[in-house]
Chain A
Amino acid sequence: MWHYAFKRLLSAIPTMFVIVTLAFFMMRLAPGGPFDKERALPPEIEQNILAAYDLDKPLWYQYLKYLGGLLQGDFGPSYRIRDFSVSELIAQGFPASLQLGATAMIIAVAVGVSLGTVAALRQNSKVDYAVMTVAMTGIALPNFVIAPLLTLVFGVYLSWLPVAGWGEGAIANKILPVIALALPQVAYIARMTRGSMVEVLNANYIRTARAKGLSERLVVVRHAIKGALLPVVSYLGPATAAIITGSVVVETIFSIPGIGRYFVLGALNRDYTLVLGVMVFYAVLIILLNLAVDLIYGLLDPKVRQH
């Protein structure tokens, strides 16, 4: 188990390294960016950037300084938003994004697994087709289509829920964004759970469990679930990436003050440091979360746990 964990950690580090290095070089290549000699900038920003990036020093010095800064959580000054460093902006946006993302993830897993299991147990019945059709909808329709439609129905026509805004974190404001963000993942997870549950239920060892006279409930809950859920656990990694990606759109549509929205604003304003900073932040976050998921998987699968 430790060997496995160690291996995983080992591969996480070079990945982060690669991303960070890539970010560093992208910054310097960007036309019209902070490092473009032809730029025309307001003097305060020019000063900030010179100070932050030591543009007159050799490249390797800049690189090491950049790395050092990152390790301390410093992503540099925002290129467009004066008086704020990128890390300050990220810190500001983090709570909203975290609430949104974490809630969406929890709902996605809970609802997805339940629906998928029910569909698998009633294979080829009406319930199964209904669940799979809803799942298809969630997968085929992107959240930037679902979000406005949900808002149209529940916010405008029915006026049950606020159309936009975070409202200091009021629950009513959270419902639509969380649903819009979670829906595609509910769909994926439901499908995946159904598929793997059906496969497991056809496995020889389930036949043995039935032959032993165990109740169907025991067969599913004690014997089938573990095998069926392993692929879902593996999927949690990409699921996190998908939720983070989706949050960009959802935060924009619902005007939620999260990191995603800063990213979009930064992209539209060509605020390179902000955009890169957010990207590196998210990438590192995802790598760490993936590592956590890998470790959980290792704990669950006895074949891995042993070695």
Chain B
Amino acid sequence: MDAVLTVENLNIRFTTPDGEVSAVNEVAFHIGPGESLGVVGESGSGKTQVFLSIMGLLARNGRVSGSARYHGRELIGMPRAELNELRGARIAMIFQDPMTSLNPFLKISKQMTEVLITHKGLSEKAARVRGIQMLERVGIPAAKSRFDLYPHEFSGGMRQRVMIAMALLCEPELLIADEPTTALDVTIQAQILELMAELKRDFNTAIVMITHDLGVVAGLCERVMVMYGGRVVETGGVSQIFYEPRHPYTLGLLRSMPRVDRSRGQALYAIPGQPPNLQALPSGCAFRDRCAFAFERCARERPPLTPAGAGRLKACFKDELTKEALA
């Protein structure tokens, strides 16, 4: 079975008034049919840019090089007309803030039917029927009467559902979700994630879940890719990542998740230091200033991404991490 998406050696550079910034370096991964991949990292780690570049949505001052193939077809540099046949139909993307991601001047009905009319050649009537069906599917009550409303007439959680419905109209093979729940409160967050898990099962859509929150990844994803400073630092299955992290950054992320079962007196853990300034990266490993395990080799050489067991990769010179070492 060939992979839905194969990315190799993806690099993204931005031209800014202060010089060139390397936002993404040598990123590589693949996604199989129906698979779900969690992409985890802080803001500035490059996780969103990777997928914006694949979708041809990179900002004007960005340059992407490398390869991203959808069933063998090269997406990087693909002419827009061709890309438009895939975007929204075979590969869909939803974004973080549903309020600003939906056009405030158009009714939801219009924004949804246009996808079906453009990609599937449906008539307006048929598209409306499909649209309402999909709204019901994502759990919008009284979908028919709500279909002709404007985005501002929906609540935050419902708007995100609308976005998801809109993205799934053409039953795409791959859905890229960029922090879809970050702007919502926790209870709604849980509902949306549950919805996505259901839809994944029903439509067999491969999902990429971009997030900074490991908790979101746990319920939904089979594999995880951790990014830091524009590079991949660790990949693996979700249980492996959670129970045997191989990179100190992953360990830090796990430790900083607030837990109900810790005693109340204990201080919340935060990874010391700041996210790196991409224009002034430290030599060697980008994480070394904040790493409890760092030794002098980390300052001299950048650790390459190396296999660390079946289906696992890590970019760290340390062989194994022990939780006790951090206490």
A and B touch in the complex (CB under 8 A): yes
State A306–B154 Cα separation when bound (angstroms).
Answer: 13
**Residues of A with C-beta under 8 A to B86:** 213
Name which residue of chain A comes closest to B100, CB basis.
A204
A213 pairs with B87, CB closer than 8 A = yes
CB of B153 closer than 8 Å to a CB of A: yes
- Looking at B26-34, B112-120, B128-136, B250-258, the stretch in contact with chain A turns out to be B112-120
Residue interface mask A207-243, B partner, CB < 8 A = 1? 1111111111010001100110000000000000000
CB of A203 closer than 8 Å to a CB of B: yes
State A175–B29 Cα separation when bound (angstroms).
Answer: 65
**Residues of A with C-beta under 8 A to B153:** 306
State A132–B223 Cα separation when bound (angstroms).
Answer: 51
A215 pairs with B97, CB closer than 8 A = no
Residue interface mask B38-81, A partner, CB < 8 A = 1? 00000000000000000111001000000000000000000011
B102 pairs with A211, CB closer than 8 A = no
Q: How many A-B residue pairs have CB under 8 A?
A: 77
A204 pairs with B152, CB closer than 8 A = no
Q: Which B residues, 139 to 158, have Cβ-Cβ distances below 8 Å to chain A?
A: 150, 152-153
Contact count band on B: 20 to 34
CB of B304 closer than 8 Å to a CB of A: no
A207 pairs with B57, CB closer than 8 A = yes
- Looking at B103-111, B231-239, B294-302, the stretch in contact with chain A turns out to be B103-111
A227 pairs with B95, CB closer than 8 A = no
CB of A205 closer than 8 Å to a CB of B: yes
Residue interface mask A274-307, B partner, CB < 8 A = 1? 0000000000000000000000000011110010
Q: Which B residues, 266 to 310, have Cβ-Cβ distances below 8 Å to chain A?
A: none
**Residues of B with C-beta under 8 A to A204:** 95, 97, 100-101
Query: How distant is A72 from chain B, measured CB to nearest CB, in Å?
Result: 44
State A226–B104 Cα separation when bound (angstroms).
Answer: 10
B104 pairs with A214, CB closer than 8 A = no
Query: How distant is A216 from chain B, measured CB to nearest CB, in Å?
Result: 7
**Residues of A with C-beta under 8 A to B102:** 205, 208
CB of B93 closer than 8 Å to a CB of A: yes
Q: Which A residues, 175 to 217, have Cβ-Cβ distances below 8 Å to chain B?
A: 203-205, 207-216
B95 in complex: contacting residue of A207, A218, A226, A300, CB < 8 Å: A207
CB of B180 closer than 8 Å to a CB of A: no
A208 pairs with B101, CB closer than 8 A = yes
A213 pairs with B114, CB closer than 8 A = no
**Residues of B with C-beta under 8 A to A123:** 60
A-B contact pairs, 22 of them (CB 8 A): A203-B100, A208-B95, A208-B102, A210-B87, A211-B88, A211-B92, A211-B93, A212-B88, A212-B118, A213-B84, A213-B87, A213-B89, A213-B115, A214-B84, A214-B114, A215-B81, A215-B84, A226-B105, A302-B105, A302-B150, A303-B104, A303-B152
